[in-house]
């Protein structure tokens, strides 16, 4: 398991770009909202900790994880520097889990190709509710925190490359 020995909430603020100049969109699935709202809260707290202004964090709710793609598209069409899509899909007794996970994954990938706005994938795809809870503020930390860090890094990368299409000594480090 990729997160078994990793705390998703750990980051080194001193080695990250500031979130201050950027506007962030967060699209949250209402399905499994006891999980997704915890992820959203972790993302917002992290963006604020990294310097984002509260007025530069725009949130929108959608009914389920499948609708995250359309919500993400709408955010990309507005003025935001990065979008975080947050969902939680828990395996059930039917193939529905597989179709939803595959559709959302491909949809978010497509948004990243279609738009010049990075879309960060924060969709938990767990076998059971406990695994989701462990990644939404439980024993593995909060994947919303990890998504917020990625959003800041990608907004900074996009801004740096948008100013000059060549890499320079000032290119932001993603480490």
Is 96 noted as a catalytic residue in this protein? Answer: yes
**C-alpha gyration radius of the chain:** 16
Contact between 144 and 39 (Cβ < 8 Å): yes
First to last CA, the chain: 22
Nearest to 149 by CA among 41, 29, 9: 9
Q: Helix 96-114 to helix 68-76 angle, to the nearest 10 degrees?
A: 10
Cα dist from 89 to 14, 23, 62, whole Å: 33, 27, 14
CA pair distance 82, 88, nearest whole angstrom: 20
CA pair distance 160, 163, nearest whole angstrom: 5
Active-site residue among 34, 96, 106, 140?
96
pLDDT of 1 > 50? The answer is no
pLDDT, one tens digit per residue, over 58-100 is 999 999 999 999 999 999 999 999 999 999 999 977 777 778 8
Entry pTM? 0.89
Burial class (CB in 10 A: 0-12, 13-18, 19+), 103: middle
Instruction: Fill in the DSSP letter of residue 49.
Output: H
CB atoms within 10 A of CB 161: 14
| pLDDT-wise least confident of 89-93, 146-150, 162-166 | 162-166
């Amino acid at each position: 398991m990729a997160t078994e020995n990793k705390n998703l909430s750990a980051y080194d603020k001193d080695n990250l770009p500031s979130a201050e100049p950027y506007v962030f969109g967060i699209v949250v699935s209402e399905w499994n909202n006891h999980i997704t709202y915890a992820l959203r809260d972790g993302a917002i707290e992290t963006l604020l900790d990294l310097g984002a202004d509260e007025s530069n964090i725009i949130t929108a709710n959608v009914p389920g994880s499948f609708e995250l793609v359309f919500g993400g598209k709408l955010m990309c069409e507005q003025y935001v520097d990065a979008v975080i899509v947050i969902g939680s899909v828990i395996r059930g007794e039917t193939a529905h889990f597989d179709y939803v996970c595959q559709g959302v994954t491909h949809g978010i990938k497509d948004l990243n190709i279609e738009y010049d706005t990075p879309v960060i994938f924060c969709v938990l795809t767990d076998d059971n509710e406990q695994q989701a809870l462990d990644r939404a503020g439980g024993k593995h930390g909060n994947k919303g925190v990890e998504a917020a860090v990625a959003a800041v890094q990608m907004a900074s990368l996009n801004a740096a490359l948008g100013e000059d299409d060549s890499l320079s000594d000032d290119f932001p480090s993603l480490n």
